[in-house]
Amino acid sequence: MSKTYETVIGLEVHVELATKTKIFCGCSTEFGGAPNTHTCPVCTGMPGSLPVLNKGVVEKAVAVGLATNCTITQNCKFDRKNYFYPDNPQNYQISQLYYPICRDGKVEIEVDGKKKFVRIHEIHMEEDAGKLVHDPFTDSSLVDFNRSGVPLIEIVSEPDMRSAEEVIAYLEKLRLIIQYLGASDCKLNEGSMRADVNLSVREVGSSEFGTRTETKNLNSFKAIARAIENERERQIDLIESGEKVVQETRRWDDTKEYSYPMRSKEDAQDYRYFPDPDLVPIVISDAWMEEIRRSQPELRDEKRIRYKEEYDIPDYDIDIITNSKKMADIFEEAIALGAAPKKVSNWLMVETMRLMKEHSVDADDLSFSAKNLAALIALVESKAINGTVAKEVFEKIFTDDIEPEQYVEEHGLKTVNDAGALTKTIEEIVAANPKSVEDYKSGKEKAIGFLVGQTMKAMQGKADPGEVNRILKEILSK
Amino acid sequence: MVITDETIEYVGILAKLELSDEAKEQAKKDMSDMLDYVSKLNELDTDNVPAMSHAFPVNNVFREDVVTSGDTREQLLSNAPEQKDGCYKVPKTFD
Ligand SMILES: [Zn+2]
């Protein structure tokens, strides 16, 4: 009889904090600089250099801890994690082992309508490492320390997840909380959010955990789902064939859909942590904590409730709009500029979604301004342009964030409001299409559509279709 | 405190040091002396002394989140034994 297995998953999530400078020095954290142009003696591990903690890192870490229901460690400190690797210039990483800044939190997730809590064991602050690039010409490695010292928090969950769906729901939850806090942009594909999956399997009903492995190098939700499925199968196969699961770190190769054990960094398991003598303890007073709590912006769950109360838009739309802080910001700003919530929501849900798909743009990367969307909506409302023209203009707003009034003016897209000119054109169309006129008069209502179309064509699309309809009917009824 | 051969071997590996037999013996003795010296602290009654992680009664030394360093790459790289394309060149390393 075949046994049924349960997957037990815990996550270690690294998040790059969106501070302007590194955690222990005044170097910029900006992306894309030439190699080693954002470095200094501290983040390259020069002897004698001394780290000084960035206050913004503590504030962001505390904000994340409070938003994930953690207890804040009001007396915390940094420790050194010792290991040799060329991306780590000091030969130790400054991290937190003994007194992590946050502990014992939890977030609620929902999968298929079922809600559950995932507990957070701890959140600690640490520094990122540099980047190694293999140089094929000299068969050596080249080190860039621009990322060395960029602040990270590592969020360690309890082994509370049981499926890839739960893992993704948990990551989405963290992403939204952290993005709304403004603590990070949390992009898996760019590495500002990284998840390592600790996974074991056990027979259903068993109360003991199996031996777990850790899988790294997961750069998308799809990769995470595939890696979980793959690792679950691999472990079950081992157990079924009487072999043992080895506790190890594995690297996922998403193109081959296969993971392999990472060459263990020799003896690297003994990190010999000890308190960092260069950094003094951090004391987080009640007052400081309260200040951070008070300045917490509206989070997603609160936003969903408020949108439901304030705006007459469907729940589904609310979910989509608030699923990205960027989109929610555009929505609220456009409304603040006077656009009707329902109209803004329609532009986001229909045209924006369509163009996002067409241009493969994520909601977080939307680059148009709420101001231009609001201006476009105002142009449509005032009947200055018609719906077809509006869609055309919106495409330009979406890609280049153009100013709609100016664009419409320059391209002569304004609806012709000259009733005399419109009537004249319609009369010409009617005269030129006696067949359609006859059809209409003999009861074929649809024939009017052809006449409207011909008129719009003659007006180069710059007429209000409602107005064309009205005048046409008036003329035809004569 | 006696330092065994295994211990000195292990510490050597962790520190990436290759020691001659002679140096190993010397290191064993030095390390033993150091541990004996520090173990003097064990004679103190510390039951009512709160754990501390720093010798100075100072906390919360922060910097504001403001960029203060510029590009000093050439100066920093001049310390490297080898460099290429603005990077530190090191022996081939795999993950
Ligand atoms: Zn630096």
Asked whether the beta carbons of residue A55 and residue B65 sit closer than 8 angstroms, the reply is yes
Whether B19 is in a domain gets the answer yes
Q: How is the beta sheet containing A274-275 ordered, strand by strand? A: A92-95, A79-82, A274-275
pLDDT-derived band of residue A336, with 50, 70 and 90 as boundaries? very high
Interface contact B51, partner A, CB < 8 A: no
SS3 B27: helix
Interface test with B, best of A73, A139, A140 (most B CBs within 10 A): A140
Asked whether the beta carbons of residue B90 and residue A39 sit closer than 8 angstroms, the reply is no
Asked whether the beta carbons of residue B88 and residue A36 sit closer than 8 angstroms, the reply is yes
Tokens of A190: 């760019």
Residue A470 has pLDDT above 90, yes or no: no
Beta-carbon contacts of A182 under 8 Å, excluding residues fewer than 6 positions away, are A18, A297
Q: How many domains does chain B have?
A: 1
Whether B24 is in a domain gets the answer yes
- Measuring CA to CA, which residue among A16, A144, A9, A124 is closest to residue A73? A124
Least confident stretch, A57-71, A119-133, A200-214, A457-471: A457-471
| Euclidean distance between CA atoms A300 and A172, whole angstroms | 11
Q: How many helices (H) and strands (E) does chain B have?
A: 3, 3
Residue A433 has pLDDT above 60, yes or no: yes
**B-chain residues within 8 Å CB-CB of A145?**
88
pLDDT for position A315: 92
Q: What number of C-beta contacts closer than 8 Å exist between A and B? A: 136
Asked whether the beta carbons of residue A21 and residue B65 sit closer than 8 angstroms, the reply is yes
- Averaged over A403-421, what is the pLDDT? 83
pLDDT for position A264: 59
pLDDT for position A396: 94
CATH number at residue B28: 1.10.20
Interface contact A26, partner B, CB < 8 A: yes
Instruction: Spell out the per-residue pLDDT of chain B, length 95, in tens.
Output: 889 999 998 888 888 888 899 999 999 999 999 999 999 988 989 888 887 777 788 999 999 999 998 889 999 999 999 999 999 999 998 65
Nearest-5° Cα angle at A321, A315 to A326: 160
Chain A residue with Cα closest to B89: A142
Interface contact B75, partner A, CB < 8 A: no
Q: At what angle do helices A447-458 and A465-476 cross, to 10 degrees?
A: 120
pLDDT for position A476: 82
Residue A288 has pLDDT above 80, yes or no: yes
Whether B35 is in a domain gets the answer yes
Q: Which A-chain residues 249-268 have CB contacts (< 8 A) with chain B?
A: 251, 262-263, 266-267
- Measuring CA to CA, which residue among A236, A233, A160 is closest to residue A203? A236
Whether B82 is in a domain gets the answer no
Please write the tens of the pLDDT for every residue from A5-21. 999 999 999 999 999 99
All domains of chain A in start order, with CATH:
5-288 (no CATH), 301-400 (no CATH), 419-476 (1.10.10.410)
Please write the tens of the pLDDT for every residue from A76-94. 999 999 988 999 999 999 9
SS3 A371: helix
Please write the tens of the pLDDT for every residue from A137-162. 999 999 999 999 999 999 999 999 99
Whether B23 is in a domain gets the answer yes
Residue A337 has pLDDT above 60, yes or no: yes
pLDDT-derived band of residue A394, with 50, 70 and 90 as boundaries? very high
Interface contact A114, partner B, CB < 8 A: no
- Residues A250/A260, Cβ–Cβ less than 8 Å: yes
pLDDT for position A471: 84
Q: What is the DSSP pairing of strand B62-63 with strand A102-111?
A: unpaired
pLDDT for position B50: 80
pLDDT for position B88: 96
Closest Cβ opposite residue A21 in set B53, B67, B84: B67
Task: Report CA(A191)–ligand 1 centroid distance (Å).
Answer: 20
- Averaged over A407-430, what is the pLDDT? 82
Q: pLDDT above 90 covers what percent of chain A?
A: 73
| Euclidean distance between CA atoms B64 and A121, whole angstroms | 29
| Euclidean distance between CA atoms A349 and A344, whole angstroms | 9
pLDDT for position B95: 56
Least confident stretch, A163-177, A280-294, B27-41, B46-60: B46-60
Asked whether the beta carbons of residue B67 and residue A27 sit closer than 8 angstroms, the reply is yes
Interface contact A285, partner B, CB < 8 A: no
Chain A residue with Cα closest to B68: A26
**B-chain residues within 8 Å CB-CB of A277?**
54-55
Amino acid of residue A305: I
Task: Report CA(A48)–ligand 1 centroid distance (Å).
Answer: 14
- Measuring CA to CA, which residue among A64, A121, A74 is closest to residue A281? A74
Q: Which A-chain residues 32-91 have CB contacts (< 8 A) with chain B?
A: 34-41, 44, 46, 52-58, 77, 82, 84-86
| Euclidean distance between CA atoms A84 and A258, whole angstroms | 28
Please write the tens of the pLDDT for every residue from A27-60. 999 988 999 999 999 999 999 999 999 999 999 9
Q: Would you give the distance in Å from CA A248 to the centre of its chain? A: 30
Whether B68 is in a domain gets the answer no
More confident: A335 or B53: A335
What DSSP character marks residue B43?
G
Q: What is the DSSP pairing of strand A213-216 with strand A193-203?
A: antiparallel
Closest Cβ opposite residue A132 in set B55, B56, B93: B93
Interface contact B17, partner A, CB < 8 A: no
Which domain range does residue B30 map to?
Answer: 5-41
Whether B56 is in a domain gets the answer no
- Measuring CA to CA, which residue among A119, A175, A178, A158 is closest to residue A8? A158
**Complex ipTM value:** 0.90
Interface test with A, best of B11, B67, B75 (most A CBs within 10 A): B67
Closest Cβ opposite residue B87 in set A19, A36, A40: A36
Task: Report CA(A37)–ligand 1 centroid distance (Å).
Answer: 10
- Integer-rounded Cα Rg, in Å, for chain B is 22
**B-chain residues within 8 Å CB-CB of A28?**
67, 69
Task: Report CA(A255)–ligand 1 centroid distance (Å).
Answer: 35
Task: Report CA(A288)–ligand 1 centroid distance (Å).
Answer: 27
Whether B22 is in a domain gets the answer yes
Task: Report CA(A52)–ligand 1 centroid distance (Å).
Answer: 11
